[in-house]
Amino acid sequence: MTRPSEDPADIDRSDPEGEIRARAEAFRNWGRWGEDDRLGTLNFITEADRVAAAALVRSGRTVSLAQAFDTDGPQKGWRRRVNPVHTMTDTGTDAERGSQGFPHGVGGADDYITMPLQCSTQWDGLGHIFDHGNAWNGRRAGDVVTSEGDLVTGIEHAKSAVAGRGVLLDAGRHLADGELEDGYAITPAELDEIAAAEGVEVRRGDILMVRTGRYARARREGWGDYAGGAAPGLSLTTAGWLHRTEIAAVATDTWGFEVRPNEFDVPSFQPLHQIVIPNMGLTIGEMWNLDELAEACAERGSWEFLVVAPPLPITGAVGSPINPLAIL
């Protein structure tokens, strides 16, 4: 079987259907972990991998890779996505005024939050994207996700799975002056080039992070079109690289993980998602804050670390907000 080209110049920019189909068929993992699989490539992380990852901890420094969850966020209403709304239901003022009805002077504060599960730092679950009506592992999309949620691959199944060796490929640092320009498509050859420059090997079961610098620019210049607009990201041609490296998950500091605009001259939308989630079973993280981690890795001269990034076990959800931790 002829493998799709990994040279972006070879993409037929007039044929997204054909380009997507070729890669979906070439890199499909359906049945690899059995008919009942719920984890996809997260199966690549073994207990031995986690033991080895724990041994990478040297200083104990912990870096949060999360953006803030508040009203100062990037969402602008696309697909009804909004920024978190935080509401207090009990406050210190209530306690001072004795209006809470508790005995002997005790008081408290209470609150709740309303938000889309993918409005800030998050994982895309395996029920998030479909390919021609097919969900992960060849299931019919309508048999997987209904009005009751993801009945098969709900994000709760990954609650104990996402911990292991993290690797940061700092594309912004190695391919530019720290920040790639919008529309820059990172190629498989460049991913290998960055890994070689950092002296790190991308291995089976890794939780890979690719920093473009787009988040740093958004925080400096304002959100603008960070949520849904143009951005650097992975080229469609990286599908084969993501498949053969057998990474467990991948995350970037952008809204959409792949390059935007997408690499076609006719209408298209997130073609790499369409390949890697429903066909490959790859878990994708988006809108991660990788700036402090990048600085820490450069200071210590090492781009591998322990990462712990479990989703909230929200039954039937197709995504989850997270606070990923890199432990150095």
Q: Domain limits of the chain?
A: 13-77+117-327, 82-114
pLDDT tens per residue, range 32-75: 999 999 999 999 999 999 999 999 999 999 999 999 999 999 99
Distance (Å, whole) CA 13 – CA 261: 12
Which letter does DSSP use for residue 135 in this model?
Answer: -
- What are the residues whose beta carbons fall under 8 Å from the beta carbon of 177, sequence distance 6 or more? none
> By CB neighbour count within 10 A (0-12 exposed, 13-18 middle, 19+ buried), where does 119 fall?
buried
CATH topology of domain 13-77+117-327: Glucose Oxidase; domain 1 (3.50.30)
- What are the residues whose beta carbons fall under 8 Å from the beta carbon of 209, sequence distance 6 or more? 65, 166, 167, 168, 169, 250, 251, 252, 285, 288, 290, 293, 307
Distance (Å, whole) CA 253 – CA 257: 8
Identify the pLDDT of residue 25.
98
The pTM score is 0.96
pLDDT tens per residue, range 188-246: 999 999 999 999 999 999 999 999 999 999 999 999 999 999 999 999 999 999 999 99
Residue 185, beta-bridge partner list:
233
The answer, yes or no, to whether the previous bond of 267 is cis (omega within 30 of 0) is no
